[in-house]
Amino acid sequence: MAKFNFNLRDQQSKVKTPVNFIIRWNNNRLVYPTGLTILPKDWENDKSKGKKYQRAKPTLIQSPEFNSSLISIENTAVTAFNRFVNDNNRQPNITELRDLLNKSLNKKSTGKLNFFQYFEKFIEESKQKTNDKTKKPLSTGTISVYNTALKHLREYAQTKRIRVDFDTIDLDLYYNYNKYLSTEKKFGENNKGKLIKVIKTVLNDATERGLNTNMAYKSKRFKVVSEDVENIYLTDKELSDLLKHDLSKNKRLDRVRDLFYIGCNTGLRFSDLGKVTKENIIDGQLHVKTIKTNESVVIPLKKEIFTILKKYEGNFPTSLSNQKMNEYIKEICSNIDSLKKKVEITHIKDNLKITENIEKYKLISTHTARRSAATNWYKMGIPSIVIMGVTGHRTESSFLKYIKITSNDKANIMQMYLSKNQKSLKLKVV
């Protein structure tokens, strides 16, 4: 059910400030300009009396006409919203509701959207777009990243009480927003970079359409920050310890461990692992069409996985939310001696490189399973191109950055190949 209310753009303003109409529904939020302005001192917002007291104070001479306009806008919006639901058997999206209000309130569109309006339009259009490289529809994960970027930038604008629009997105905003993400949101470099990258993508799109003329975002200093994260993986020995760990008295953790172990030996994303069933197993191999890339992969299964599946009558253990999986797998691994050892991690914090020693289990997440599979396969001598067919990496350089092997691992791999060549030479000589 939709919720409707009004608020002031700047409640601390000493001059008249615009009154916005706010509509919230189904995790959507539309800020619609009423075209009305008022001094904050003349605005009454007594929440104890309900939303009907979000209006001009009686002391304002024009309050009857002013409040009548607000009531008319709200009634029109409620009617338009309900009519759309009845006619379409679904709720409108943000763009559809804005167009409905423009039509119902006889507002002529100037064709000029502000940045947030264009951002919303960009997201809606992206749901129908295809990836330029793969020629496949953009994934739900990509759309989710777009929505997250919009959400955080909008929260920043509201928290700091600043106007974010095409003409205000400059280096000052870039530096201040980065500082906000670091200090107040506690985001790391890669999270910040992901959000900035989306903003630049939206600005590029608007510029190509002739809607943006501010080129400040093209500056080299308006950059997408990132850092090489020293993600960990679990060795074969550690995976063996994990599998042997007795969880018979806790079915919840037992199920989580089993699913995680399967992930560590299939390389599947957990979004894919949560969808597979016993019907996906054909001749001892797992056949899966991945959600993110929409590609079909075939993965041989170890005997240990079949032993696990027997516990669930041939089915795969059911998955939980990513958040719960991360929480529970840490709980499990915190009781395994080989995973309580400390590892050295280097990361960036407040533009400073910091090195810390952290217990390994604290760094384990669902994505550790996928990275463990790829790394252990590589250490076995399986060619990169074969592993990339499962992981979905498109270049060997990106794959080699993804896996985690030490100098000793590299030496062992080289020794393995040298030993094979020596045996081959001996056979030929004989």
Over residues 39-89, the pLDDT tens digits come to: 888 888 766 555 555 777 777 767 787 888 888 899 999 999 999 999 998
Please report the pLDDT score of residue 27 as a whole number.
86
Among candidates 151, 147, 145, 182, which has minimal Cα distance to 164?
151
CATH of 110-226 among 1.20.120, 1.10.490, 3.40.630, 1.10.150 = 1.10.150
Q: Which two tokens stand for residue 207?
A: 């510029």
Dihedral-angle region of residue 162 (phi above 0 means left; psi in -120 to 50 means alpha; beta otherwise): beta
Please report the pLDDT score of residue 429 as a whole number.
45
pTM beyond 0.85, yes or no: no
Check whether 116 has a pLDDT greater than 60: yes
Helices (H) and strands (E) in the chain, counts: 15, 10
Residues 6 and 70: their CA atoms lie apart, in Å, by: 8
Q: What is the mean pLDDT of residues 217-226?
A: 91
Range with the poorest average pLDDT among 33-47, 111-125, 205-219, 370-384:
33-47
Among candidates 362, 315, 316, 319, which has minimal Cα distance to 339?
362
- The string of pLDDT tens digits covering residues 334-362 is 999 999 999 887 766 656 677 888 899 99
Please report the pLDDT score of residue 123 as a whole number.
92
Residues 430 and 428: their CA atoms lie apart, in Å, by: 5
Query: What count of Cα atoms within 13 Å lies in the side-chain half-sphere of residue 250?
Result: 13
- Please give the full DSSP string across 98-159, using - where no structure is assigned: HHHHHHHTTPPP-S---HHHHHHHHHHHHTT-B-TTT-SBPPHHHHHHHHHHHHHHHHHHHH
Among candidates 357, 359, 356, which has minimal Cα distance to 340?
359
Secondary structure class of 175 (helix, strand, coil): helix
Instruction: Note whether 300 and 284 are within 8 A (CB).
Output: yes
Among candidates 353, 255, 377, which has minimal Cα distance to 308?
255
Residues 409 and 414: their CA atoms lie apart, in Å, by: 9
Rounded to the nearest angstrom, the gap between the alpha carbon of residue 202 and the centroid of all alpha carbons in its chain is 17
Please report the pLDDT score of residue 427 as a whole number.
47
Domain boundaries, the chain: 1-108, 110-226, 236-418
Q: What is the mean pLDDT of residues 291-295?
A: 76
User: Phi, psi at residue 31, to the nearest 5°?
Assistant: -100, 110
Domain made up of 236-418: CATH architecture: Orthogonal Bundle (1.10)
User: Phi, psi at residue 288, to the nearest 5°?
Assistant: -135, 140
